[in-house]
Each structure stands twice: as C-alpha cells, then as structure tokens.
Chain A
Amino acid sequence: MNYFVGIDIGSTTAKAVVVDHEGAILAQTVRRSGYDFAVVARDVFSAVLQQAKIQRVSVMGIVSTGYGRRNVDFTDQQRTEIFCHARGVHHYFPEPVTVVDIGGQDNKVIHLGPGGERLGFTMNRKCAAGTGAFIEEIAYRLDLPLNDLNRMAEEAESEVTIGSFCTVFSCTEILGMARRGIPVADIIKGVFRSVVKRVAEMDSLDGKVVMTGGVVDHNPVVAQMLGEALGRSVETPPHPQAIGALGAALIARDMQEEIKSK
C-alpha cells in the first residue's frame, strides 16, 4: 500500500496527515510549532506514521506547507497554504465554495471554482488582528484558558463591541471593560464578533462558505457567528485545523497520480 503525508508547519501549530492512495485519512496529529520548525516537522511526521502504523518506506510522497514549509528538510515538494487549504476543502466540498481560513497569524479567503481551481484569494494585511494570535493574546491578558472560550461565548447573554483594529489597543479596550465589571463571557463573545468582522471585510464571501483553521476547530461558535453575519449557514469540514495538512497530503497523492498517468 502507498501512503502520502502532508505536513503543515503553521506559526502556532504543526499538523501532519497521512492518506492512502484513495485519499482516505489514516491518521493526523497536531502540536505546538515551538521555535524549531525542523524539529517539530520531524516530530509530527514520526507521530503520524506511528499512529497510522506504517513505515517510512511506504510513504510515496510528502508535501510541506505553512509558514515553516521551507524548514521541512525531508519534504518532496513545498506548496503554499493557499493551495493546500483549497485542495483540502475541495476534498470535502467538490462544488464552488469560498474558503475562510483563520490561522495563527494569517487569515485567508480563497475562492474555488467547480473543479476546485483557485479563482482568487486574499490574505489579511500586515496586521494580525482577527487571527488566532489575537484571540490568544486576549486570553492571555484575561488569564483565561483557551479551551474555555467557546463555551463562554456560547453562554454569553450579551456581547461587547470592540472598536479598535489593533490587537494591543483592543486589549487596552478589553481591560477597561473588565474594570467596569462587564461579564467576561460578553467580552469573549465580542472578541469573536471582532474576528468575524475582520474576516467579512477582507473580501466578498460569495456562495457556499466553508471555514477552516484552528480557531474554528476549537471555537465552532465563530462559524455560527459568521453565518449570522452572512445570513446563511457556514460549513466546516471534519478537523478544520488539519485541512491544510490534508490538502498537502492529497497534493502529494495527486502528483503521484499525475506521474503514473504520463
């Protein structure tokens, strides 16, 4: 049996996915990227092979992606996260879709045509407001566990409005709200609303919208809130955080298929 591995070294987390020759997922893993991308790439690679119970020699192709894609010194090919997210989403949604990915420091909007072809894309500007890093910073300032944020937002009875574009100024704004005694759940829901607003202003979110990335994986309320903003439901694939790594694995498989067909 032939297997293919995708490795997505993001600014915050590293992900690896193994697929077989039919594109079925055998295993996937996620861990913090840390500061040594080469080491974490080897770690997630070993871990995912172990989970899938396969040997290195059975791996016929590896594609790396993400911020640290060039640090994966054992990869066969590198592809951008735009390409890989598009490929991963197309696996689950073969129709034309608009992909909204909220990553650690990048947000992306990718428009896919009927064959999964990329028609265009937008990334957030230089500022990381509205990304995973923004949410982590707010959680850190308020001393809240990241795992509790989704529940808190779901339980919120109201929500605040965060006016600033800037993460640092948003924190100042939020600390002021905390001092005034505003319930923390309302603040968290306001934080997620701010993320949704940042995404919605990046590009036209036409047709069916599919959300990916770690933020929506851990905080599905964000997809629900984006759906509210758009007036229609927003879909998520299974394991939205690993969709880039899945796309990379599928691209590795596609490349093998292409070679075989020649």
Chain B
Amino acid sequence: MADIKKLETAKLMKKVMADHFYEIDAAFKSGEPKVAWCTSVGPAELLRAMGFVVYFPENHAAILGASRAANDCIPAANAIGYSPEICSYLTSDVGAYLKGFTPLAKIYDGIETIPKPDVLVYNTNQCRDVKDWFEWYAREWNVPCFGIESFVNVGDVTKYHVDSIAGQMRKLAAEITAATGNKMDEDLLKETVRLSRRCSDLWKDVLEMAANKPSPLTFFDGTIHMGPAVCLRGTQVAVDYYETLLKELRGWVDEGVAAVAGERHRIYWEGMPIWGKLRENAKLFLELKTCLVASTYCNSWIFSALDPDDPWNSMARAYTELFIVRDDDYKEDYYRRMLDIFGFDGIIFHDAKTCPNNSNCRYGLPQRFSKETGIPFITIDGDLNDLRCYSEEQAITKIEAFIEQLDG
C-alpha cells in the first residue's frame, strides 16, 4: 500500500510551531511581554499590535484531539456542568486543565503548563461556545475577558456590519489598554495587517495548488500545514513558511507528483476534521485513490479583505466575511465557486455532533446543492474531538459506498 506523501516543509513547520510555543512559554514565565489568548478567527492582529504574544486555545484543543487525549479530558468538563452536547474543543480543553494535563508538556521539553493569560479575547463569529470557554478561564484565574459579538446568517457584508464590528474593535482595544496597560501602536497594526494579508494570500495560493490534476495536496495535509496561518498570521515567520511551502508544492506540480497516487476521484470536505482519526482517514482515502482536494475548514483562514491602509475596517470586514457566519444562499454560492476552482466529483459533509455551526448539513443545504449541480454527497456522523460520537465502521462503509457510487 502507498504511504502518505510528506512535504519536506513539514519539518520546518515543526520548528516554527515549537518556536511559537516556546516564545509564549517564555513570556508566561517571565511576565514580559504579556500573553493574550485569542480565538482562532479573532482579532489576533489587534493583539499583536498592542504588544502581546498570542496563544490560541483552539489550536491546543485540536492537539488534544489529534493526540487522542481529548476523550480522557472531556468527562472532567462534563462533570462540572459542561454538557457532552456542547463544543468538544471547549470540554477537551477545560477538562485537560482540570486534570492538570497538556500535550504541550509531552511534545516540548521545558513546557509544563498552558500559559496563563493576562487577557482573554474572543470573537463570537464562530459560535457562542468560544465566549463560554474563555469566560470559564476568566473566572478560574480572575483574568479580564473581552470580546466581539459578531453577526450571524449574514448575506452581503454591508457598511452597517463593518461599522459595528470596527467600532467594537476600537472599544475592545480601549478596554484591553485599561485592563493591561498595553497600548495600540497604529503603525504596528498596519504592518501586522500587511503581514496577515500576505500570509492569507500565500495560504490561499497553497490551497489552490490542489486545483491541479493530480493534486499535490490533500485536506489532511491542509489541516497540518494550516498551523502557522492560525497561530502566526501577522508575523514574518508565517509569511516565510508559506513561501517555502508554496515553492515546494509548485515543484511537485511541475513534476506531476500526486498527493494520492493514481488519483481517481476528487472530493470536497465540508465541516470540521475528525482530529483523532486524521491518519486513518488519510490512509482510507489513499487506498481508495481519492483526494480530498479542498475544504471550507482550511479555507477559513483566508482573509482577503485585510488592507493595511485601512486596518480597522478591513479587519472588521475580514472577520465578518467568514463562511461560518454567512447565510445559506452565500454558502451554496461558495460551493459553486469551489466547484469551479477545484473540479470535484462529490462532497462529504461531516455532521459534527458538538459543532453545529460547522455542520452545514442540517438545513437541507447538501440536498439543494446536489439537486442544482448534480454533485452527489454523503454525510458522515462524527465529531471534531469527541470520538464517542463517531462510529468508525459505519463511516468507512459510507465512504467506501460513496466511492463505489462514483465509480459507477
């Protein structure tokens, strides 16, 4: 059986992510610079421009999932009143804290705990759960917690939306200054937004390499290589990383290297990864000679609206243009655009039990899109972190049957 092909740049990512965690750990231990926690599609640029190092709990929760530690941790959060039905990132992460556990301590010598923040900053553009998550830590540590209350079911993003969110961002910056003493550096904000936009453009280029046939990249590669786009956007490190990755991928395309040898089918993945089953699922699709060429999930860290000449309004627009907060008409149109770019044969919708906002199969959208385009779909029941919600045998049968259906 063919092995999963690894990009050389993956080695660089290990270093980049290690440096990221050591930088935060050093700041946490020395007290300088101050540490901010931020949601993954939150206003990280704003925090960097105020002199914070930024830690992303969602990234930590994903590591808990990928390392299969999540299911040891979730029950501890359930036991203090956080339901098994709510976000399993939240329950994994809070449960890990309650158990005094972090996988970072296993991976990185010298890191013992997650970094206690000086401030917690969320954006509800993904869900209300991130707010509940951050507020739990705020109570636990008596640390200030601020956030942006975002819009949901947005059709066209209008001036009304942008003005509201930009206004909330300015208010947020003032609140953070009052609570921590850190001040906004407008020049640094422009530079951070410029670097974020460059990172975003490069990440988009990386993902669109999968438009080539055969694709040099799978969804599974994307979930690994998105680390810097999540944790380091707004820094030169992330820009350098994606320039290197893009160069390697272009080389693969030039040489006709396929991520999935003998690529027969191309599939769009809609929804969260099943972090604890990434490797198994990557191998399953490899055996089926099927490449998951694109996903809404990996695309979620593309912020094409960012503009260094208009940082506040462009951040507001970028964080409101996200797929997750848009209405179903927008989402249907988005799939059509992805179909044009990537040319896929089918869609797999992941119905993640604890993540309704990333499960876009609950209001008839797959059926509508399939009827209009003729692109077939299946739905896999699972979860991002809670593997109790995932029936592996049933999922495998569904996926295999779907590929048989595409075979004709």
A residues sitting closer than 8 Å to B (CB atoms) are 67, 79-83, 106, 117-123, 125-126
Residue of B nearest to A117 (CB): B408
Q: How many angstroms from the CA of A5 to the CA of B379 in the assembled complex?
A: 31
For the complex, give the distance between the alpha carbons of A160 and B378 in Å: 34
Contacts of A80 in B (CB 8 A): 397, 400-401, 404
Can you add 6 more A-B contacts, CB < 8 Å, to A118-B401, A120-B376, A120-B377? A80-B404, A83-B401, A83-B404, A106-B394, A119-B376, A125-B381
A82 contacts across to B, CB distance below 8 A: 397, 401, 404-405
Decide: A126 near B400, CB < 8 A? Known: A117-B408, A120-B376: no
Report how far A102 CA is from B408 CA in the complex, Å: 24
> Nearest chain B CB to A219's CB is how many angstroms away?
24
Which listed residue, B370, B391, B393, B405, touches A121 by the CB 8 Å rule? B405
B148 to chain A, nearest CB (A): 35
Residue ranges of B at the interface with A (Cβ–Cβ < 8 Å): 351, 370, 376-379, 381, 389-391, 393-394, 397-398, 400-401, 404-405, 408
B residues less than 8 Å from A126 (CB atoms): 381, 389-391, 394
Chain B residues positioned under 8 Å from A83 (CB to CB): 401, 404-405
Nearest B residue to A118, CB-CB: B405
A123, B394: Cβ atoms closer than 8 Å: yes
Chain B neighbourhood of A123, CB < 8 A = 394, 397-398
Whole-angstrom CA separation of A125 from B405 in the bound complex: 20
Can you list 25 A-B pairs with a CB-CB distance of less than 8 A? A67-B393, A67-B397, A79-B404, A80-B400, A80-B401, A81-B401, A82-B401, A82-B404, A82-B405, A83-B405, A118-B401, A118-B405, A120-B370, A120-B376, A121-B378, A121-B401, A121-B405, A122-B379, A123-B394, A123-B397, A125-B351, A125-B381, A126-B381, A126-B391, A126-B394
Residues of A within 8 A of B394 (CB): 106, 123, 126
The residue on B at minimum CB distance from A68 is: B393
Cα-based distance from A43 to B146 in the complex (angstroms): 66
With a cutoff of 8 Å between Cβ atoms, the chain A residues found around residue B376 in the complex are 119-120
User: Separation in Å of the A88 CB from the closest CB of chain B?
Assistant: 14
Shortest distance from the beta carbon of B329 to any chain A beta carbon, whole Å:
23
Evaluate contact between B397 and A81: CB separation under 8 angstroms.
yes
A120 touches B393 (CB 8 A): no
Chain A nearest Cβ from B59, distance in angstroms: 28
CA distance A83 to B400 in the complex (A): 10
Q: Which residues of B contact A119 (CB under 8 A)?
A: 376
Q: Which residue, of B370, B393, B405, has the highest number of chain A Cβ atoms within 10 A?
A: B405
Chain A residues near B370 (CB, 8 Å)?
A: 120
Complex CA–CA separation, A79 to B377 (angstroms): 19
Residues on B with beta carbons closer than 8 Å to the beta carbon of A117: 408
Nearest chain-B residue to A85 (Cβ)? B401
Residue among A81, A122, A123 with most chain B CB within 10 A:
A123
A117 to B379, CA, bound (A): 20
Which of chain A's residues has its CB closest to B376's CB? A120
Q: Which residue among B376, B390, B391 has the maximum number of chain A CB atoms within 10 Å of its CB?
A: B391
CB of A114 to closest CB in B, whole Å: 14
**B397 (CB) vs chain A CBs: closest residue:** A80
Q: Give the chain A neighbours of B398 by CB distance below 8 A.
A: 123
A176 → B minimal CB distance (Å): 26
Q: How far is the CB of A99 from chain B (nearest CB, A)?
A: 12
Closest to B370 in A: A120
Q: Report the nearest B residue to A65, measured CB to CB.
A: B397
Q: Cβ of A79: which chain B residues have Cβ within 8 Å of it?
A: 404
Q: Is B405 touching A120 in the complex (CB atoms < 8 A)?
A: yes
Q: Which residue of B lies closest to A120 (CB)?
A: B376
A-side contacts of B405, CB under 8 Å: 82-83, 118, 120-121
- Minimum C-beta distance from B379 to chain A (A): 8
Q: Which residues of B contact A120 (CB under 8 A)?
A: 370, 376-377, 405
Chain A residues with Cβ under 8 A from B351's Cβ?
A: 125
Task: Report, nearest first, the 6 A-B pairs whose CB atoms are least far apart.
Answer: A82-B401, A80-B401, A118-B405, A83-B404, A126-B391, A80-B400
- The complex places the Cα of A118 from the Cα of B370 at a distance, in Å, of 14
List B contacts of A122 (CB < 8 A).
379
> B399: shortest Cβ distance to chain A, in Å?
9
- Complex: chain B residue closest to A115, CB-CB: B408
- The chain B residue with its CB closest to the CB of A78 is B400
Give Cα distance in the complex from A67 to B404, angstroms: 16
Write the chain A residue with the least CB distance to B391.
A126
A6 vs B41: C-alpha distance when bound (angstroms): 52
- Which B residue sits closest to A121, measured CB to CB? B401
**Complex CA distance for A80 and B391, rounded to whole angstroms:** 16
Q: Please indicate the chain A residues that have their CB under 8 angstroms from the CB of B381 in the complex.
A: 125-126
Task: State how many angstroms separate the Cβ of B277 from the closest Cβ of chain A.
Answer: 14
Report the Cα distance A106→B408, complex, angstroms: 23
Nearest chain A CB to B47 CB, angstrom units: 39
Q: How far is the CA of A80 from the CA of B351 in the complex (A)?
A: 22
Q: In this complex, what residue of B is CB-closest to A81?
A: B397
Complex alpha-carbon distance, A82 and B379, angstroms:
15
- B405 nearest in chain A by CB position: A118
A121 to B380, CA, bound (A): 12
Residues of B with C-beta under 8 A to A67? 393, 397
Measured CB to CB, the closest approach of chain A to B376, in angstroms, equals 6
Cα distance, A67 to B377, chains bound together (Å): 22
Given the complex, which residues of A lie within 8 Å of B390, measured CB to CB? 126
* Cα of A125 to Cα of B361 in the assembled complex, Å: 13
Give chain A residues whose Cβ lies under 8 Å from the Cβ of B401: 80-83, 118, 121
Residues of chain B within 8 A (CB-CB) of A81 are 397, 401
Measured CA separation A79–B288 after assembly (Å): 12
A118 proximity list for chain B (CB < 8 A):
401, 404-405
Closest Cβ–Cβ distance, residue B328 to chain A (whole Å): 19
Among A79, A117, A126, max chain B CB count under 10 A is at: A126
**Residues of A close to B400: CB separation below 8 A:** 80
Roughly how many angstroms separate A128 CA and B376 CA in the complex, as a whole number?
25
User: Across the two chains, which residue of chain B brings its CB closest to A66?
Assistant: B397
